Amino acid sequence: MSLAMPSPRAGRAPDDLAPEFLSRLVRGGLVTLGGVIVLAGVVIAPLPGPGGIPVIAVGLIVILRNSYKAKRMFVRAHRRWPRIVHPLRRLMRKEPEIASVFWQQYLRVERFALPKRYRVGVRGRRHLKRAFSGSED
């Protein structure tokens, strides 16, 4: 004969079931919202200007912050293509260095697309650096 007392929780449903359900519901809603934002970016993309690309990036960030499966896929992609995925990781930080990421991507595209004599990014930056670093007496 056992004298152990039954658990006070034996006849009740678990209390933490509702918060877990709500968090999964919110997480699923945010993933869906991210998908809608990505689709909106795809629709906007053919318009003149870079309008669709930043919208797609925002949608992907929302999805990555709320989907474990998407995070795993992102980590695999980062291991496979680190030069492509690393700028996205830098943009997803809490305090992203947006200007430096876009500048480095501009230089990468310029190096890929233009012959050396037509590249203005590096020469222009060096010219501006010399112009503004001169000592004023």
pLDDT digits (tens, 9 = 90+) for 32-69: 999 999 999 999 988 887 778 788 888 988 999 899 99
pLDDT band, very low/low/confident/very high, at 137 (cuts 50, 70, 90): very low
Query: What is the rounded distance in angstroms from the CA atom of residue 82 to the CA atom of residue 105?
Result: 14
Same domain, 58 and 101: no
pTM value is 0.58
Same domain, 65 and 103: no
Establish if 7 belongs to a structural domain.
no
Average pLDDT score, the chain: 81
Q: Domain limits at 72?
A: 25-82
pLDDT band, very low/low/confident/very high, at 114 (cuts 50, 70, 90): confident
Closest CA to 66 of 126, 21, 25, 103: 25
Same domain, 30 and 75: yes
Establish if 20 belongs to a structural domain.
no
Same domain, 75 and 111: no
For 12, the 3-state DSSP assignment is coil
Give the total number of structural domains in the chain: 2
H-helix or E-strand containing 102? helix 98-113
Query: What is the rounded distance in angstroms from the CA atom of residue 75 to the CA atom of residue 81?
Result: 10
Query: What is the rounded distance in angstroms from the CA atom of residue 81 to the CA atom of residue 76?
Result: 9
**pLDDT value, residue 30:** 93
Establish if 9 belongs to a structural domain.
no
Same domain, 67 and 105: no
